[in-house]
Amino acid sequence: MTAPPVPRHVAIIMDGNGRWAEERGLPRLEGHRAGAKTVRDITTYCRELGVRYLTLYAFSSENWGRPETEVSGLMQLLTDYLKDERATLLKNQIELATIGAVDKLPLVVRALLGAVKEATRGMSGMRLTLALSYGARDEIVRAVRAVAAEVKRGALAVDDIGPEHLEAHLDSAGTPDPDLLIRTSGELRVSNFMLWQIAYSELYVTPVAWPDFSRARLDEAFASYRGRQRRFGLTGAQVAPAGGARGGA
């Protein structure tokens, strides 16, 4: 039996770590610690299933406003994650990438990110992109600045500016748009995540908190995705003229 098709690019807003911990009478950081385990498991599972691109929203530009202890705890967890995961990423042929204002991260994190990105560059099993210090509006503003600079130097005419010019300067350049966007822990919002790239992504929100998200829950999300018909503005008959298959990658 052939395996069912999976989305090519899965993006996840990993939410609910704090509430998961608070419900158990634990410090919020314990929720983040449990969430980091889920990251490892879901990354490996996506690789096994043949997902080509996995993007994880790990820390937003707005998350810098959280209490200092939570922010530094998250940075420590990220440091531990990068140290521990390097070997697993290499073994599984997973290329590490980032989107976001990574220059704002602590030096030790930046150094580790640089080293792991370098060690995994060009690996073809899957690309894992971590959204760190990430805000979509910030990403778009930086891209607009870069396009404006091209215009200013005379390399591009204003009337020739198209979506492709903006896309080329987004942090995610070179990675196709997400096919499926999952948000855990129930909130029906996108919280400044990939505003440009999710224009036609399928959305899936589960009430399950990120630390409780599992392989079985990902299977459910993928099953939902397979049942969708992606029409991209066309009619149902246009995209499936023979009354053919739905969803798919």
Residues catalogued as catalytic: 15, 63
Q: Which of 54, 107, 112, 49 is nearest to 86 (CA)?
A: 112
The residue with its CB nearest to ligand IPE is: 18
Under the binding rule (CB under 6 A), the answer on residue 16 touching ligand IPE is yes
The residue among 204 and 247 lying less far from ligand IPE, judged by its C-beta, is 204
57 binds ligand IPE (CB under 6 A): yes
Pick one of Mg ion, ligand IPE, none as the site partner of residue 19 (Cβ within 5 to 8 A by kind): ligand IPE
- Can residue 15 be called a binding residue for Mg ion (CB under 5 A)? yes
Write the CA distances from 134 to 23, 79, 137, 218, 228, integer angstroms.
27, 17, 9, 24, 29
Residue that has been written with the tokens 């997400």 in this structure: 178
Stretch that binds Mg ion, among 7-15, 139-147, 148-156, 205-213 (CB under 5 A): 7-15
Please give the residues from 76 up to 135 whose contact with ligand IPE meets the rule CB under 6 A.
none
Give me the amino acid identity at 125: G
Please select the residue that binds ligand IPE; options are 7, 18, 135, 211, rule is CB under 6 A: 18
Least distance in angstroms from the C-beta of 248 to ligand IPE: 28
Pick 116 or 136: Cβ nearer ligand IPE: 136
Q: Are 133 and 105 in contact (CB under 8 A)?
A: yes
3-state SS class at 90: helix
Q: Tell me the closest approach of the beta carbon of residue 13 to ligand IPE, in angstroms.
A: 5
DSSP state of 103: G
Closest C-alpha among 175, 182, 177 to residue 219: 182
- 71, 133 contact by CB (below 8 A): no
CA distance 29 to 74: 8
Which spans of this chain sit near ligand IPE (rule: CB under 6 A)? 13-19, 57-60, 62-63, 74, 185, 187, 189, 191
